[in-house]
Amino acid sequence: MTFEDARRALYQAPLAEFVKERTRLANELRAAGETKAGAKLRQQPRPSVSAWVTNQLYWHARDVFDAMLAAATTLRKGDLSATTAHREATTALRQRASAMLTDAGHSATTATLHKVATNLAAISARGDFFPDEPGEMTTDRDAPGFG
């Protein structure tokens, strides 16, 4: 297992198991002789609930996530014909986020879902998860704007 494989697995884990999974994966890396990688994995921050569920959307609702990104690419080029497709994909992802949160034992509050929607808008505006790898967000994004 590489560091990247371990990091991807970590950010797909249930949030309640994050610390336990981080320790397990870091120990696995160390046992394989990857001491520096194991130490680096131990430093990976636990995501916020809204960042975690945004990651889960990427990993487990990929078809809709990719549709949102494709529509966003068209919109960034100035072609407004993708507005409805983007809005529908974002709405579907927000609904999936609500179900994922509830299934994982978290509250699907208006505030959390608003943060998820803001994360999705920021990812759409940029076209990626910068500064994180796709599906490995640790903190919520600011709303896109004219900054």
> Does residue 38 lie within any of the structural domains?
yes
Please check whether residue 139 lies inside any domain of the structure.
Answer: no
Q: Looking at residues 34-45, what average pLDDT do you find?
A: 96
- For residues 38 and 65, membership in a common domain is answered with no
Query: Same structural domain for residues 56 and 120?
Result: yes
Mean pLDDT of the chain: 95
Query: What is the Cα–Cα distance from 109 to 57, expressed in whole angstroms?
Result: 17
Same domain, 55 and 110: yes
Residues 64 and 27 in one domain: no
- How big, in percent rounded to 5, are the helix, strand and coil portions of the chain? 70, 0, 30
CA atoms of 60 and 52, how far apart (whole Å): 12
pTM for the complete prediction? 0.93
Residue 59 in any domain: the answer is: yes
CA separation (Å) from 124 to 29, 107, 115?
34, 25, 14
What whole-number distance in Å separates Cα of residue 26 and Cα of residue 38?
4
Compute the distance between CA of residue 64 and CA of residue 96 in angstroms, rounded to an integer: 10
Instruction: Let me know whether 16 and 81 are in one domain.
Output: no
Percent of the chain with pLDDT over 90: 96
Q: For residues 42 and 53, is the Cβ–Cβ distance under 8 A?
A: no
- Asked whether the beta carbons of 123 and 141 are under 8 A apart, the reply is yes
**Rg over CA atoms, the chain:** 16
Identify whether 73 is part of a domain: yes
Within a domain: residue 53?
Answer: yes
- The residue with greater pLDDT, 95 or 147, is 95
114 and 64 co-located in one domain: yes
Is residue 137 situated within a structural domain? no
Domain that holds residue 111: 49-126
pLDDT of res. 143: 84
Co-location of 98 and 64 in the same domain: yes
Q: Is the pLDDT of residue 80 over 60?
A: yes
Structural domain includes residue 147: no
Which run of H or of E encompasses 84?
A: helix 83-103
Does the pLDDT of residue 53 top 60, yes or no? yes
Encoding tokens for residue 98? 């609500």
